[in-house]
Chain A
């Protein structure tokens, strides 16, 4: 149910550097989305571009972020999509984490694109992700052990995430 006047969606993000909240936004999207999943991906794209800007700024400040930025997206539709997979009811929910890889675009220097087609479960080897040029991981529908309850929340293996961070 979009806002009837414009049919455009609203998305928001928060960016933390270490323990500090450094950037946030709540904004109506510029583009018209045809599904809630699309609206959520647009929201991810917005925060990814903000995260890239912050990473570049910190690089200029000579204190670069040395690890990949994790982007947590509360994306219920992906949970529903993953429900079609056989392991939906498995007790170890870490098996149906989906990761979208965001890579530095080879064409534009400061432009990034999301390669949605590489969405796959973590049961496959992390090496499959071609991490060489990876700067930012988008983790869909996985808010990890946060002190508050969120929609579409699921638990994932932190050690695995740490592995990704330093990969």
Chain B
């Protein structure tokens, strides 16, 4: 069909012919298709459906647990439902929300403290939070910190994890806005912190 396999992202296929461009993003049996014109999109869809049994689910609304809402300013990506499930799983539906996901003073240490009684629960919740960082860059540092202790979680690590969940509880509507913009400019920001003291604030500042 003229699509070429992308070496930088193996689930991405690109069609480019003259002014026509189309992208297919594949995940197991889910496909996102976008094309430069409606006519092109229809022709690709009819070609695909002649090859495979497939169902058109209309405009993108849900993909890999991320809900996509179209609004006048662009797209809004959210994992609200997933975040609610995490809070539910942690049994913290009625917890008090917190404004910051990490304790800005104390730093987590791996060696001190009592072992947490249910390391499997800890790992499961930490893993779940890691998936939530797809639309929540504001918790990426906090989640990275709790994930460092997956092998041997202590009670203090669990309280750090619960702190993140309390923060999520208070900011459940947060997500990622994508606006139409030119791709001519790209800017990166970086910070390294050997002391782990301020990087989380820095990351929070940039993501808000």
Contact = CB atoms under 8 A, between A and B. Distances in A.
Contacts of B182: 18
Interface residues of B, number: 49
B179 A19 contact: yes
B202 A150 contact: yes
Interface string B119-137: 0000000000000010001
B189 A60 contact: no
B37 to A, nearest CB: 15
Contacts of A20: 177-179, 181
Interface class of chain B by DSSP:
mixed
Interface string A2-22: 111100011111111111110
Given A21-B207, A26-B140, A60-B14, A13 B181 contact: no
Interface in B107-123: 107, 109-111
Contacts of A39: 192-194
Indicate the size class of the contact surface on chain A: 35 or more
Interface in B5-19: 6-9, 12, 14, 16
Given A5-B110, A10-B199, A24-B137, A15 B184 contact: no
Contacts of B186: 15-18, 51, 54-55, 65, 67, 69
Nearest to B6: A60
A70 to B, nearest CB: 5
B142 to A, nearest CB: 8
Interface of B: 6-9, 12, 14, 16, 21, 23, 107, 109-111, 133, 137, 140-141, 143-144, 148, 176-179, 181-200, 202-203, 205-207
Given A3-B107, A26-B141, 5 more contacts: A10-B141, A16-B188, A18-B179, A24-B203, A40-B190
